[in-house]
Structure 1
Amino acid sequence: MLVIKVIWSSCLLVIFLIWSGEAFAGELSERLANFPQWEKLTSVQPASGDLIYPEWMAGSWQVTSTLVDLAAPLAPDIVTPGFEGNRRQLNQPVSFVVRFVKAQPHISSLKIFPQIDYKFQSLVADRAFNSLNLARAYLGDEAVLSVKVDPDSPNRQITFLRSSRQLVSIVTARATETVSDSKFITTEVFQQLFKGGSRPYLNSVESTTAYHKLLTTNPAIEADQVTAVYLSPQDPDYFKAGSRPAALYRYRLEFVPVQMPNIQKE
């Protein structure tokens, strides 16, 4: 059950706004509206560099995530492990703290481009902090030891679990759709590899999220998020599934600002 929960909860580890890879107009909006009738996206672009957020997401936030719907489009022929068990999570809110900070230029960048004015830094997620808090919110403090982000690539991270288990997540593609100054939609596609069990478990996950800045402070931001789980080529049912997801999870996210010390991302 621990394996299933890790694989499922890690789908939420990427709640990001993408600065490049613009989707076709309205495609992501239409995608959310058509839930659960989904196919794999073809308009995403290869992931490169860090993910940039709008300035109104700066600071620290108490996030409440609630699973409000789920679907198994290929059932009863194909049902992912733990899908039925995840029904117990319906309408059960889970809270955790995340933060978004100003990115600091890498030392190598300062050496190569010393003439650049780095005053106007991009806003990025504190990936290790956010992922650790999220994983512990779902799995418990003792189950999750740490989260490490690859210093050479913000798109690769490892979650270290008890008993020498690891969850490796690699963002491979992304897209975004700007709706207005206060609303945007983003998609990330990533590969998940769970190591340390009886055999490695690999799958592909897409997380599509529509964020909306509100005029209130409680919450200040709300989001509609759908996580789609696709079978990996190693799965015996891979060709039977085709381009359709084997599981879909829909969440409601609420962001409330919290006061924490200012952090600069190094």
Structure 2
Amino acid sequence: MLPLLLICFLYLDSSPALAGTLTERIVAFPEWTDKPAVQPVEGDLIYPDWMVGTWKMTSTLVNMVAPLAPEVTTPGFDGNQDFLNIPVTCQVRFLPSNVLERHKAGLPFLSLPTGSLTKALVVSDRAFNGLSLAKAYLGDRVFRVWVDSRDPNRMTTKFRDNRKLFSFATGRSVEQPDSEHFIASELFQQFFQAPEKPYKNQVETTTAYAHQPDGSVTADQFTAVYLNPPHPKAFVAGDRPVALYRYTLRFVR
């Protein structure tokens, strides 16, 4: 089974959250017993203005826990130990939303007036970032990543053996303590389409970002995996996570 690291893409939205809820959740890691409080997703994923541009991102898996093992485990958990404490670097980019839309349509970036770039909301180029991160972890096994043109919350990853990973965000929440920090949490439904054994689950990604004085960005990212029926252990696990991962992220120009 493919490493669950594929789901570690960065998201942010301006949906309201209960004050302190995500902060307290991060402090409690890895003692998580349920899913985060999120709202249904609406629209695109919005980042702070200081995220705009192209970055070199380094992601390092620093901790992993299987809270319900050995009774309940997930495919890929043991294999992900190969990534423990190994920095993985890739290029990611965040663009003004109007620039990204023109890029999708095949229009040149430079045709936009400069003023329109500063007024637009900053979003992730998720197809580019998804492919870049997936290739950093899985190499040439990854063929293509694309986002549904009708729904920015749906992404598909296709592998060279024709297997596919479908991922779509269903819930989202954010806290922003000040202009230089924010915490975002999303829940995703994932379906891995494979001839030998299709597999689906739910994944949480909760990330605390900090804008540094030198212009770089650092983050702690927490990923939790939850089981879905018809997995035989789904009712045993309930809303408790069956796999937990913690990463450190660093973005530099």
What's the TM-score, normalizing by structure 2? 0.90
Aligned residue for 2:24, secondary structure, equals helix
Cα displacement (A) at 1:11 = 2.0
Counterpart residue number, 1:230: 226
Cα displacement (A) at 1:103 = 0.9
Structure 1 distance, partners of 2:42, 2:148, is 13
The reply to whether residue 75 of structure 1 matches residue 69 of structure 2 is yes
Match 2:86 to one of 83, 92, 96: 92
The reply to whether residue 138 of structure 1 matches residue 134 of structure 2 is no
Structure 1 distance, partners of 2:224, 2:122, is 27
Aligned residue for 1:153, secondary structure, equals coil
Q: Percent identity?
A: 48
Q: Which moved more, 1:28-37 or 1:195-204?
A: 195-204
Match 1:200 to one of 198, 203, 209: 198
Paired residue total: 238
Cα displacement (A) at 1:203 = 0.5
Q: State the superposition RMSD in angstroms.
A: 1.6
Runs of 4 or more consecutive aligned structure 1 residues displaced over 2 Å after TM superposition: 39-43
The reply to whether residue 17 of structure 1 matches residue 15 of structure 2 is no
Structure 2 distance, partners of 1:42, 1:51, is 18
Q: Which amino acid aligns with 1:172?
A: T
Cα displacement (A) at 1:16 = 1.2
Q: Which amino acid aligns with 2:31?
A: Q
Structure 2 distance, partners of 1:180, 1:123, is 18
Structure 2 distance, partners of 1:213, 1:121, is 20
Cα displacement (A) at 1:131 = 0.3
Q: Which amino acid aligns with 1:181?
A: S
Q: CA-to-partner distance for each residue in 1:166-206, whole Å, 9 max, x for gaps?
A: 11011111000111110110001001111123121101000
| Structure 2: tracts of 5 or more residues without a match | 103-114
Counterpart residue number, 1:253: 249
Match 1:36 to one of 9, 17, 30: 30
Structure 2 distance, partners of 1:40, 1:212, is 26
Q: Which amino acid aligns with 1:242?
A: G
The reply to whether residue 59 of structure 1 matches residue 57 of structure 2 is no
Matches within 5 A, 1:158-173: 158-173=156-171
Structure 2 distance, partners of 1:187, 1:148, is 22
| Structure 1: tracts of 5 or more residues without a match | 108-117, 258-266
Structure 2 distance, partners of 1:95, 1:44, is 30
Cα displacement (A) at 1:42 = 5.2
Counterpart residue number, 1:112: none
